[in-house]
Amino acid sequence: MPRWRIRNGVPAALTAAGLLLAGCANPSTGSADDDPTKPVTLKFWHGWSAPGEVKAINASIERFEKLHPNIDVKATGNVTDETINQALRAGGGEAPDVVSSFTTNNVGQYCDSGMWVDLDPFMKKTGLDKKKTFPKTLLDYTSYKGTQCALPFLADAFGMYYNKDAFKEAGIERPPRTMSELKEVAAKLTVRSGKDSYKRVGFMPNFRLYQNAPDRLFAQWGPQYFDADGKSNLADEPKTYDFFKTTNELIEAQGGFDDLEKFRATFGEEMSSQNGFLTGKLGMHLDGEWRGLMLDEKKAKFDWGVAPLPVPDDQADSYGRGFITGTVLGIAHSSKKQNAAWELVRFLTANTNQVVDLANDIHNVPSTFAALKSPRLDADRRFRTFFKILENEHSQALPQSTNGGSYIVSLADLAYSVEAGGKKNLREGLKKLDDQIDADNLQAEN
C-alpha cells in the first residue's frame, strides 16, 4: 500500500473517453433506489498491483460474494486516481460503482465536488456507528467539512526502523525519544569512509529520501496547517520554524547536505534489495509498517527493530505519536447501484474478520477498533508497534483541503530549498507559501 506505486491498467479506450469528457459540467448522477438483495453486478476499481496484494483483494471479494451471492463484483486493479477521476466525471455505464484510492489527500476534493457520495445516510440506514467503529484520526482524513464521503480501507502509520546491530556497536541502549536524543544518536551511528563519503549515516532527514516527504516528520510537532478561517498558517506556526531548525541541525551533525546527498545517490530503489536501510547504509529510517514485510522477505542481514519517531523536546509527553494515512474507499456519485455498492464498502471496511484478514495478508494497519484488538492479528510485536502509533491520541493525519494535497506539494518545494541552504529568510519564504496555498485553494473553490 505504499504511495510509491505507479498504477495503470484500465483499457485505453475508457481512459481516452474519460479524457474527452473530463470537463463535463453535468456528469451523470446515480441513485440509491436499487434493491441490494436483487441480482446485480458491481464494478470495483482499486490501485493494488503486486501479485500478493491482488490475490488478497480477490480473496476479500470472494468472501463478500459468499455472504451476498446475489452480488457479482468485477474488480479492476492497478488503476490510477487520474483514470478514476476521468471516468467518474464522464459517468455512464463504464464508470466504477466502488472506488479506492491510495491518495488520502484527495478526499477533500472527492467530498466537496460530490464525486464520491456522502456515506452517512447509508451508515444510518444500516446501523453502522462510525465513531464506535473507526479511530477519530481515520474519520478525519476520510471526511471534509462534515461530509463523510469515504471510509478507511486499512491504514498506514509511520515510525522509525533501527539497526539493532549498529546500536549495539555504538553502545546505544534504546531508540531516541526526543529530537535532541535523535541528533546525538544519529551522530554516534554515523561512520565516515573517507573525506566526503560514508559507510553509514545515522538518520538521513533529506526530504527526497524514499518516504521522507516533509509532512511525515513534521507530524511529530503536531502542526496546525490552517487557522480557524481556513487560511494557511505555516508562517505563523512556531512549530514550522523548530521543524526546519531541527532538520538542518540533523543534517549538519552528520556532515552537511552536500555529503549526505552524494551518499543518498548511492542507494538503490526504495523497494529493491539495494534499499539504503536494507543494505546497512542507514542506522535509523522513517518508514511505514509495510517495510517490515520487505525486510523479512529480503532477509535483512542484521537484527532490526521498530519504535515511534522521536518528538520535540518540549513535547516529550507526546512520544508514541506518528504520521497517519491510508487507503480510502467510496461510492461513485454516478453509480445507480449505490445500496449494493454500500454493502461492499461496509464489508470491506467494517467487517472485523475481513479487515483482520486483509491486514495480515498485505501487512497494513487495521482500521477499526475491533480489528485492532483481534487475537487473529499478526502477533509480530514490531508490526504491532504501528497499531499503537495509530491509536496514540497525538498522532496526526493531514487536514483535508478542497484543493487536495497541492499544499503539501508546495510545502515540499520550499523544504527542498531550505534543506539545501537556499532560503536564508525562512519567514519570508513561508509567507509567500501561505499566500500561494490560499490562492490555490480559492481558485479550486471557484
Average pLDDT, the chain: 91
Contacts of 72 (CB under 8 A, 6+ apart): 39, 40, 41, 42, 65
Contacts of 210 (CB under 8 A, 6+ apart): 4, 270, 275, 276, 285, 287
Q: Are residues 302 and 229 in the same domain?
A: yes
- Note whether residue 293 is domain-resident: yes
Domain that holds residue 271: 158-318
Last residue of a domain, one of 296, 318, 340: 318
CA distances (Å), 278 to each of 167, 216, 268, 271, 307, in order? 15, 20, 10, 10, 17
Q: Are residues 271 and 301 in the same domain?
A: yes
| CATH number for the domain harbouring residue 132 | 3.40.190.10
Of residues 92, 88, 2, the one with CA closest to residue 45: 88
Q: Are residues 168 and 310 in the same domain?
A: yes
Please report which confidence band the pLDDT of residue 424 belongs to, taking 50, 70 and 90 as the band edges. Answer: confident
| pLDDT recorded at residue 89 | 86
User: Which position has the higher pLDDT, 218 or 25?
Assistant: 218
Q: Are residues 162 and 152 in the same domain?
A: no
Predicted confidence (pLDDT) at residue 362 exceeds the cutoff of 70: yes
User: Which position has the higher pLDDT, 401 or 242?
Assistant: 242
| pLDDT recorded at residue 120 | 98
Last residue of a domain, one of 302, 318, 334: 318
Q: Are residues 309 and 330 in the same domain?
A: no
| pLDDT recorded at residue 17 | 34
Of residues 154, 149, 152, the one with CA closest to residue 53: 154
- Note whether residue 302 is domain-resident: yes
- Note whether residue 305 is domain-resident: yes
Predicted confidence (pLDDT) at residue 391 exceeds the cutoff of 90: yes
Of residues 396, 337, 391, the one with CA closest to residue 117: 337
Neighbours of 17 (CB within 10 A): 17
Residue 56, SS3? helix
Q: Are residues 289 and 329 in the same domain?
A: no
Q: Are residues 165 and 312 in the same domain?
A: yes
Predicted confidence (pLDDT) at residue 18 exceeds the cutoff of 50: no
Residue 196, SS3? coil
Find where cell 523544504 sits: 415
- Note whether residue 34 is domain-resident: yes
Per-residue pLDDT tens digits for 69-115: 999 999 999 999 889 888 988 888 889 999 999 989 889 999 999 99
Q: Are residues 39 and 169 in the same domain?
A: no
Q: Give Rg (Cα) of the chain.
A: 22
| pLDDT recorded at residue 403 | 85
Q: Are residues 167 and 151 in the same domain?
A: no
Please report which confidence band the pLDDT of residue 50 belongs to, taking 50, 70 and 90 as the band edges. Answer: confident
Predicted confidence (pLDDT) at residue 127 exceeds the cutoff of 90: yes
- Note whether residue 409 is domain-resident: no
- Note whether residue 77 is domain-resident: yes
| pLDDT recorded at residue 136 | 93
| pLDDT recorded at residue 402 | 86
Predicted confidence (pLDDT) at residue 24 exceeds the cutoff of 70: no
| pLDDT recorded at residue 28 | 59
Predicted confidence (pLDDT) at residue 152 exceeds the cutoff of 80: yes
Please report which confidence band the pLDDT of residue 404 belongs to, taking 50, 70 and 90 as the band edges. Answer: confident
| pLDDT recorded at residue 6 | 32
| pLDDT recorded at residue 249 | 97
Predicted confidence (pLDDT) at residue 25 exceeds the cutoff of 50: no
Q: Are residues 167 and 242 in the same domain?
A: yes
- Note whether residue 426 is domain-resident: no
- Mean pLDDT score, 273-297: 95
Say what the pTM is.
0.89
Q: Are residues 284 and 226 in the same domain?
A: yes
Q: How many domains does the chain have?
A: 2
Instruction: Give the span between the Cα atoms of 248 and 217, in whole angstroms.
Output: 13
Find where cell 526530504 sits: 207
Predicted confidence (pLDDT) at residue 14 exceeds the cutoff of 90: no
- Note whether residue 336 is domain-resident: yes
Q: Are residues 166 and 49 in the same domain?
A: no
